[in-house]
């Protein structure tokens, strides 16, 4: 089964869209760096491990890799893309690189760095499409989830999301 590594944003989007259980029904495995999980996710959303989230260790070499990424990339990231990736964001990227798998993130700047580091990326829109493709969600239910995310003040490219979902009708 395909492994994907998530940052915090994706899990927060899934929670805002009331899609956590549907997310874990996808025929994929999901992992997250242990530090990111214990600092950012577990306090507000305990029990994700029971649904299948793998809390994974980033090896020493890849922790060092994550630590050098800000110096290489942060000065090149445009402010219009939002905040610079955090240390935990870079750990998620490092874990995806360590495991040679896709990174799940909606963070624009982290996507830019992942692309430069040759790590494949998928975001919330891609996950909604996967849920529809696997018949876990209808297009109408995906739009309802998007509305919940918007009400929850999540940051997605709303026009693009609506365009992609409308194309699946």
- What pLDDT score was predicted for residue 149? 98
Each domain of the chain, given as residue ranges in start order, spans 2-124
The confidence band for 36, taking pLDDT boundaries of 50, 70 and 90, is very high
* Rounded average pLDDT over 1-18: 96
Cβ–Cβ under 8 Å, residues 142 and 149: no
Residues 6+ apart with CB under 8 A from 24: 30, 51, 52, 53
Check residue 10 and give its pLDDT: 97
pTM for the full model? 0.95
Would the pLDDT of 3 be above 90? yes
6, two tokens? 């998530």
pLDDT digits (tens, 9 = 90+) for 97-146: 999 999 999 999 999 999 999 999 999 999 999 999 999 999 999 999 99
What are the CB-based long-range contacts (under 8 Å, 24+) for 59-64? Answer: 59/98, 62/94, 62/95, 62/97, 62/98, 63/91, 63/94
pLDDT tens figures, 39-89: 999 888 889 999 999 999 999 999 999 999 999 999 999 999 999 999 999
The Cα 137–Cα 115 span in angstroms is: 29
Q: What is the second-level CATH architecture of the domain 2-124?
A: 3-Layer(aba) Sandwich (3.40)
Distance CA 28, CA 42 (A): 21
What is the reported pLDDT for 1? 79
Q: Tokens 């989830």 — which residue?
A: 145
User: What pLDDT is attached to residue 76?
Assistant: 94
Among 147, 143, 123, which residue's Cα sits nearest to residue 132?
Answer: 143
* Cβ atoms < 10 Å from Cβ of 26: 19
Q: Compute the distance between CA of residue 67 and CA of residue 62 in angstroms, rounded to an integer.
A: 8
Residue 46, pLDDT score = 83
* 3-state secondary structure at position 93: helix
Asked if pLDDT for residue 20 goes beyond 90, the answer is yes
């Amino acid at each position: 089964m395909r492994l994907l590594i998530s940052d915090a944003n994706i899990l927060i989007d899934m929670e805002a869209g009331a899609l956590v259980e549907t997310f874990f029904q996808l025929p994929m495995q999901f992992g997250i760096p242990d530090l990111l999980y214990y600092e950012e996710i577990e306090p507000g959303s305990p029990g994700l491990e029971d649904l299948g989230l793998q809390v994974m260790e980033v090896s020493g070499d890849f922790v060092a890799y994550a630590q050098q990424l800000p110096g290489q990339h942060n000065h090149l990231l445009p402010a219009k893309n939002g905040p610079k990736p955090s240390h935990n964001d870079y750990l998620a990227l490092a874990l995806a690189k360590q495991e040679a798998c896709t990174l799940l993130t909606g963070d624009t700047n982290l996507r830019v760095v992942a692309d430069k580091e040759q790590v494949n990326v998928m975001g919330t829109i891609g996950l909604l499409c996967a849920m529809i493709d696997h018949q876990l969600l209808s297009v109408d239910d995906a739009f309802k989830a998007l509305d919940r995310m918007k009400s929850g003040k999540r940051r997605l490219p709303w026009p693009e999301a609506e365009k992609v979902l409308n194309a699946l009708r």
